[in-house]
Amino acid sequence: PEILGLGIEHIETVLNNGFSVYYLCLILIGKLVITSICIGFGMFGGIFSPALFIGATAGALFTKLATVIGGATVGLAIGPGLIICGMAAISSTVVGTPIAGVLIMLELTMSYELALAAMLSVVTSALISHLLFGHSFFDRQLLDRGIDISQGRTQIELMEQPIVHLANKDFVHFSKDTSIKSAINQMAEAQVSEAYITSNENNFLGKVSLHGLLNSEDTLFVTSSLIDKPTQIKHDASLQQGIEIASEFVGESIPVINFETGKLLGVLSEADLFQAYLTTQNKIIDLEKK
């Protein structure tokens, strides 16, 4: 029963040295397992109270270990210090509130000495957790969903915007049996340096440049002068991903393609991406000013 519920009353028992070493190990493992199951299945329970319980139990185990190694005198000298440190370290690291964790321990114990000890444990725990896991449990959940809040609001907003909404459908395209001479004339009339080859079903077949066509025999078809491995953007990519792809791109426009169907949905220029980025940035600035 100790591993069920909030466990506040059992933390008091731990503080009063009411459990044996073997039982502490049992409830520590049990609480870890049951908490993981509850979180995994989306059950009620939260993480703060379990973190306090696990921290108190772990601290009690270290207190028992110190007593075994150093004797009863050491155990009496330590008192509830390691238990308080364990509660502060684990709860503040899991929730991501190191300062609040120390203040909570100060309020619970009304002892500046224990609060200072808790501060040391919180700093150490937060540093290790940040390097190996993340800032907090909630940050880790967001990272698993592809959202990194440490990058700021702008990047989060960019990740939320689908690139396909920016795709421009006004572009020059030819069928595969168009001659190079005809393609050059149409591109010159439209004043573009790049065009796309599509099928009757609007499937993407390739991309050509005016420079490449001019260096080819005008009696051939446009498919003989396709650009090798042109830069492409997947239709379900975000604006942030589109900007990252375009950062190494040199040219007039990038095709947005549905990789599942092969259809060309539109094209994007670097100007389109820059304008979308500036619009998003101004939106974030206005939001922060409110």
Global pTM reads: 0.60
Q: Which residues contact 57 (CB under 8 A, 6 or more apart)?
A: 14, 24, 27, 28, 31, 86
Q: Which residue has the tokens 């304008």?
A: 275
pLDDT at 72: 60
Pairing mode, if any, of strands 173-174 and 194-198?
parallel
* Fold exhibited by the domain 160-289: CBS-domain (3.10.580)
Structure tokens at 54: 């696990």
As beta bridge partners, residue 264 has 257
Strand 263-268's sheet: what is its strand order?
233-234, 254-258, 263-268
Residue 206 φ then ψ, to 5°? 160, -175
- What is the torsional sign of CA 68, 71, 76, 79? negative
pLDDT at 268: 93
The SS3 of residue 255 is strand
Helix (H) or strand (E) holding 194: strand 194-198
Q: What is the dihedral of CA 127, 131, 137, 143, to 10 degrees?
A: 150
Of 158, 192, 160, nearest to 275 (Cα)? 158
Q: Alpha helices, DSSP H only, in the chain?
A: 8-15, 21-40, 48-70, 72-78, 81-95, 98-109, 112-132, 137-144, 153-160, 180-190, 210-214, 239-246, 270-289
Mean pLDDT per 10-residue segment, the chain (290 residues)? 74 83 89 86 80 91 83 62 90 90 88 89 91 84 76 80 90 90 90 92 92 82 88 91 88 92 92 90 81
Helix (H) or strand (E) holding 234: strand 233-234
pLDDT at 207: 94
Q: Where in the chain is the domain with CATH 3.10.580.10?
A: 160-289
The Cα–Cα gap between 210 and 187 comes to 7
How many CB atoms sit inside 10 A of residue 257's CB?
20
Instruction: Quote the distance between the C-alpha of residue 242 and its chain's center.
Output: 17
pLDDT at 71: 65
> Roughly what angle, to the nearest 10 degrees, separates helices 81-95 and 112-132?
40
